[in-house]
Amino acid sequence: MTELPENKKIILFDGVCNLCNNSVLKVIKNDRKNTFLFTALQSDSGQKIINHLKINTSKIDSIILYEPGVSYDIKSTAALKVMNDFGGFWQLTQVFWIFPEGFRNLVYDFIAKNRYKWFGKKESCMLPTPELKAKFLD
């Protein structure tokens, strides 16, 4: 697998999903510590990471938060860990840890299942602006 930057967390996301792309832009805006890098699940680097982690994406249609050499998380756990890094008012989202992961993921899966219907879908993955290009692996 390609060498990944150290001390970064990588968010793999659905590159054709409007909700996912808007979420990536929100993470970039709130990533004051410059913690996160991004790659679409559909991209070459996304596919290499998925294969390296041996994740079956036909069973897991989700955000993946990958900390190279540490671990990876999916679905609601990944989303809560990302928001925890923001600090400030985002700390309020940590109240959702009180719910069992199974329940949190039911809600996550319901939104994920309907995301194209509710928010739409692009024909191809988002192309980052030159200013944002450094935040993406591909």
Q: Burial of 48 by CB count in 10 Å (0-12 exposed, 13-18 middle, 19+ buried)?
A: middle
- Identify whether 128 is part of a domain: no
Distant-in-sequence contacts of 77-84, Cβ < 8 A, 24+ apart: 77/101, 77/104, 78/11, 79/108, 80/104, 82/9, 82/11, 82/27, 82/36
- Identify whether 132 is part of a domain: no
> pTM (2 decimals)?
0.86
Question: Mean pLDDT, to the nearest integer, of 113-127?
Answer: 74
Q: Which domain holds residue 36?
A: 9-123
| Tally of domains in the chain | 1
- Identify whether 94 is part of a domain: yes
- Identify whether 90 is part of a domain: yes
Reply yes or no on whether the pLDDT at 33 is more than 70: yes
pLDDT value at residue 75: 93
Higher-confidence residue of 101 and 116: namely 101
- Identify whether 3 is part of a domain: no
Question: Mean pLDDT, to the nearest integer, of 130-135?
Answer: 77
